[in-house]
Amino acid sequence: MDWLRAWMMPPQGSEFAKEIDFIYMALFWLSVVLFFMIAIPSVYFAWRYRYKPGRVTPHQTHNTTLEVLWSVLPLILCIGIFFWGLNGWMKYAVAPGEAMEISVTAKQWLWQFEYPDGSRTINDIHVPVNKPVKFTMTSEDVLHDFFVPDMRVKHDIIPGRYTQVWFTPNVLGEHNFTCAEYCGKDHSGMKGKLTVDNDADFAKWMETGGTEWEDYFNGKDPKKTPADWGKITYERVGCNSCHTVDGSKSKGPSWKGVFGSMVELNNGTSVLADENYIRESMMNPQAKVVKGFDPIMPTFQGLLKPNQANGLVAYIESLK
């Protein structure tokens, strides 16, 4: 009967999905049996005891044994089903400690995801196969809900609070997720793609730090340039805590007008602030320290994805 389950339920993306499907199908067959236990008599009796003039019906007012039986037996059945459901739910309710945590910010009408290493992506996430992943979620505006049918998980996302779902995907490939709490105009457009990768592919994906940056480098949107991505990165990775972009003084040199200028270093020499200089400053900041500033900049080696570094260069170049 697996074809019936496969027709009624989405693909099974995890062990948990298999367990839920098992309960679902059990309840399904139970319901079919109980339904026919009600439907068949109702139709059969209408035929078997059809009207005959003059027939007298028996005066059956009650039957205590029968009534107790059909109150107690369903009650026992219900208690059993309750505990079965509770059991499955408890597994879903608490994520295992080693789960990779992805934080989710839902807003009308898109999904923002952030990985532990700071990579961000929108509407499109990758997770490694056979490893538990936990989503910690909040909303920027109204109620939303993160629903991954193939994993059989769902939870509301509430502004001002954090809620959680988790699962361990065990099937490679693409799955859909969708918003399941009405949130306004484009509620039914608020969906995304979850891709389950093997370890190698997942590592490769993490290298690039998500897909959010792609729009800024593919030229499709004139409003999204590498320099814009650089500005976003400037704020996100904290460059702005030491470098201004308007020329004002801070812990580090301002970026305004730097690109292409001659910079005086603290050892008395001057260098051209070209692209190589910028890149070296990010990865090996102690190599060339600007005069009048302390050598306090940390290295961003390993902390910046290539697209982020490229973006920063483009941004700095744009700050004439």
Half-sphere exposure of 257 (CA within 13 A, CB side): 5
Q: Does 133 bind another protein (CB under 8 A)?
A: no
66 binds another protein (CB under 8 A): yes
**Binding to another protein, residues 137-166 (CB under 8 A):** 141-143, 145, 147, 149-150, 152-156, 158-161, 163
- # residues near another protein by CB under 8 A: 83
Residues 91-120 that bind another protein (CB under 8 A): 91-93
Site string for another protein, 247-286 (x = CB under 8 A): ----------------------------------------
Q: Please say whether the beta carbons of 307 and 230 come within 8 A.
A: no
CB 41 → another protein: shortest distance, Å?
Answer: 5
- The answer to whether 277 and 288 are in contact (CB under 8 A) is yes
210-216: list long-range contacts, CB under 8 Å, 24+ apart: 210/113, 210/115, 210/119, 210/120, 210/121, 211/121, 211/122, 211/124, 212/120, 212/121, 212/122, 213/305, 213/307, 213/308, 213/311, 216/311
> How does DSSP classify residue 134?
E
For the bound state, the minimum distance from the C-beta of residue 177 to another protein, rounded and expressed in Å, comes to 10
Are 144 and 160 spatial neighbours (Cβ–Cβ below 8 Å)? no
- Tokens 């934080």 belong to 103
Of residues 24 and 293, the one with the C-beta less far from another protein: 24
Of 85 and 116, nearer to another protein (C-beta) is: 85
Q: How far is the CB of 47 from another protein (least distance, A)?
A: 9
31 contacts another protein (rule: CB under 8 A): yes
Identified binder of another protein from the candidate list 9, 129, 263, 283, rule CB under 8 A: 9
What is the distance between the alpha carbons of residues 191 and 278, in angstroms, rounded to a whole number? 39
Who's near 273: CB < 8 A, 6+ residues apart? 258, 259, 260, 261, 262, 263
Span between the terminal Cα atoms of the chain, in Å: 69
* Smallest separation, CB 113 to another protein (Å): 20
Q: Is 18 in the site for another protein (CB under 8 A)?
A: no
Least distance (Å) between residue 23 CB and another protein: 6
Q: Which stretch binds another protein (CB under 8 A): 86-94, 215-223, 249-257, 291-299?
A: 86-94
Task: Considering the complex, state which of residue 69 and residue 296 has its C-beta at the smaller distance from another protein.
Answer: 69
Whether 102 and 133 have beta carbons less than 8 Å apart is answered as: yes
x/- string (CB under 8 A) for another protein, residues 169-208? -------x-xxxxxxxxxxxx-------------------
Question: What is the footprint of another protein within residues 32-51 (CB under 8 A)?
Answer: 34-35, 38-39, 41-43, 45-46, 49-51
- What minimum distance in Å lies between the beta carbon of 132 and another protein? 17
| CA 285 – CA 251 distance, rounded (Å) | 14
